[in-house]
Amino acid sequence: MSIISKYANQGSINVFIFKTESNLLGFAPGFTSGWQDYKILSPFYDVIFVSLEGLKDHNTLTHELGHWFSLDHPFIIDERGQIVYFNKEELSEIGINSSKEYCINHMNYSCCSSTFTDVQLHQQHWFAKTYRNYIAL
């Protein structure tokens, strides 16, 4: 991250655009140790990476912003790299209550993504106020 810190502005959402030969459209670094670390490590983790191809996919930046504001995918990737879909109860906890809501959710990998649920919007707002309160809200 030292190369990035030279270009990143503290207290900002820094978006870096890159060229890649892989299928990676975007990436937002995160911590497994706890969200409180974001306050301490600004601007090193105030970054989002989006590939040139990701810019063509109109959901990639929005999806990565969702991660930047603490959202997860509505599925997990298991140790074999296979997608394991959440069950109805797990989806309901994040406000997804139908197949259509799942399909159009920004945190899904879908070509027709267009929305966050109210639960996800509330989560992002809470996270920003609590752990990224150095940005203008």
pLDDT in tens, 43-100: 667 889 999 999 888 889 999 999 999 899 999 889 998 989 999 999 999 999 999 9
Residue 91: partners with Cβ closer than 8 Å, 6 or more residues away: 74, 97, 102
The average confidence (pLDDT) of the chain is 86
Task: Say yes or no to pLDDT of 108 above 60.
Answer: yes
Maximum CA extent, the chain: 44
Instruction: Tell whether 44 and 83 lie within a shared domain.
Output: no
Q: Which domain holds residue 76?
A: 69-132
**pLDDT tier at 33 (50, 70, 90 boundaries)?**
low
Domain membership of residue 108 (yes or no) is yes
Closest by CA to 56, choosing from 94, 20, 80, is: 20
Domain check: are 51 and 75 in the same one? no
Q: What's at 111, amino acid-wise? A: C
Confidence of residue 106 (pLDDT cuts 50, 70, 90): very high
In a shared domain, residues 100 and 45: no
- pLDDT surpassing 90 at residue 128: no
Are residues 79 and 122 both part of a single domain?
yes
Provide the pLDDT for residue 134: 73
pLDDT at 96: 96
Q: Rounded CA gap, 87 and 134, in Å?
A: 36
Q: Into how many domains does the chain fold?
A: 2
Question: Is the bond preceding 29 in cis, omega lying within 30 degrees of 0?
Answer: no
